[in-house]
Structure 1
Amino acid sequence: MGGVGWHSTGQGVERTVERTLGHLRTLDAAPAQPAGPLTLEDLYRQHRMRLVRLAVLLVDDAATAEDVVQEAFTGLHRHWSGLRDAAAAVGYLRTAVVNGSRSVLRRRKTAREYTPPHTTTARSAESLAMLTAEHQAVVAALGKLPPRQREVLVLRYYGGLSEAEIAEATGISRGTVKSTASRALDALQRIMTAG
């Protein structure tokens, strides 16, 4: 998927992010849709791992990511009768994962105010082993971005979403998506240059 030209001077870092998260997206590609009506079980089987990877990229913790995705599917189950089609169900899940990840990050921030901060990188050895050193550096740098910046880049380059879809999933305007992406790429450039 080509870059959207969010930033002219950071195109090198944009290409690097696009390569890394595009590689992960390819690894997690959803299988072909079954014939007939889509069930909740089909959605779970087809999208669970991709949503877990999305959550891991946002919250940087595999166990928490699993919990966030499980909550998203639980919410989908509660709202199943009100959804119009499979695309709406996937959009609901994506938005639920973003919102659940935000909640986790807010709780972490509150907890850090009472206890000394600690660093955890709970990505599985398996997922990191599948990445080159360059890809690992990009994923590590993404973890240092503010949550909204990380969300926008992950949804664009891992999720493969358009600006409009990112705006819908995150509840921000398209203009804010664009400016946030630009700031995120600038920050990522600084992080990767300093590291």
Structure 2
Amino acid sequence: MRQHLRPDSGTPVPAVPLAPAASDPADLEREAGLARLFELHYSSMLRLAVLLGADDPENVVAEAYYQIYRKWRRLRDTEAAEAYLRSTVCNLTRMRIRHLQVARRHVEKPAEELVASAESTALLRDDQRVLIDALQQLPARQREALVLRHWLGLKEGEIAAAMGISCGSVKTHTARGLAALTQAMEARR
């Protein structure tokens, strides 16, 4: 490799190669695995973030993919990448909601209510709106347990792993959430 002299001191500086070095096979495998994971699960992860109440679901999902990209080589089983991604989306959404709650407490003026667009309001039927409103009123853990169970169809063990709680807690949060949703829907009728 040729060396150049630094103009100010006359010390040699290695020349930077013009062509990029050949890619590492592990990097190629990571890129292919993440591309496959993105194609298969981006939409469902985005829906999960929306249903969990993220105010910026695209950013939450993008951050989740970035985190799995950084930790890809440390994954013991690349088949578990979907579960890790789901867990990351849940955790990021939870952290984002907590952050917003703290930020809103410290705002001098009350934040204006978010209003759904006319298009999205027109698309949702009345029952769906009531159900979504009732779901948003649930405590975060109950909402997460219900979304993971009934939207994604996960088993209790998978939900427990995604939420970082015990299976017994999953049962409790699911039962309480269903009871609250049932009460809200019956009150409407």
TM-score norm. by structure 2 comes to 0.74
Residue 114 (structure 1) aligns with: 106
Change (3 A) 1:119 1:60: farther
Change (3 A) 1:46 1:135: same
Q: Which runs of 5+ in 2 are unaligned?
A: 1-28
The higher relative CO (CA closer than 8 Å, separation ≥ 6) is in: 1
Q: Please list, as runs of the form range in 1=range in 2, the aligned pairs for 1:47-86 lying within 5 A after superposition.
A: 47-61=41-55, 64-86=56-78
CA distance in 1, matches of 2:51, 2:167: 22
The partner residue of 2:95 within 103, 125, 128 is 103
CA distance in 1, matches of 2:59, 2:118: 16
Change (3 A) 1:174 1:118: farther
Residue 14 (structure 2) aligns with: none
CA distance in 1, matches of 2:122, 2:85: 25
Residue 145 (structure 2) aligns with: 152
Amino acid at match of 1:67: N
* Alignment partner of 1:190 is 2:183: yes
Deviation at 1:191, TM superposition (A): 2.3
CA distance in 2, matches of 1:127, 1:92: 33
- % of aligned pairs identical? 41
CA distance in 2, matches of 1:128, 1:103: 31
Amino acid at match of 1:71: E
Deviation at 1:39, TM superposition (A): 1.6
Deviation at 1:126, TM superposition (A): 5.7
**Deviates further, 167-176 or 108-117:** 108-117
* Alignment partner of 1:42 is 2:36: yes
**Deviates further, 118-127 or 104-113:** 118-127
Per-residue displacement from partner, 1:137-160 (whole Å, max 9, x unpaired)? 222221111111100000001111
* Alignment partner of 1:161 is 2:150: no
Residue pair 1:60, 1:143 contacting (<8 A) in 2 also: no
Change (3 A) 1:60 1:76: closer
Residue 91 (structure 1) aligns with: 83
C-alpha RMSD of matched pairs (Å): 2.5
Deviation at 1:167, TM superposition (A): 0.4
Give the SS at the match of 2:181. Answer: helix
Residue pair 2:149, 2:155 contacting (<8 A) in 1 also: yes
Q: Which runs of 5+ in 1 are unaligned?
A: 1-35
Residue pair 1:167, 1:174 contacting (<8 A) in 2 also: yes
CA distance in 2, matches of 1:72, 1:128: 31
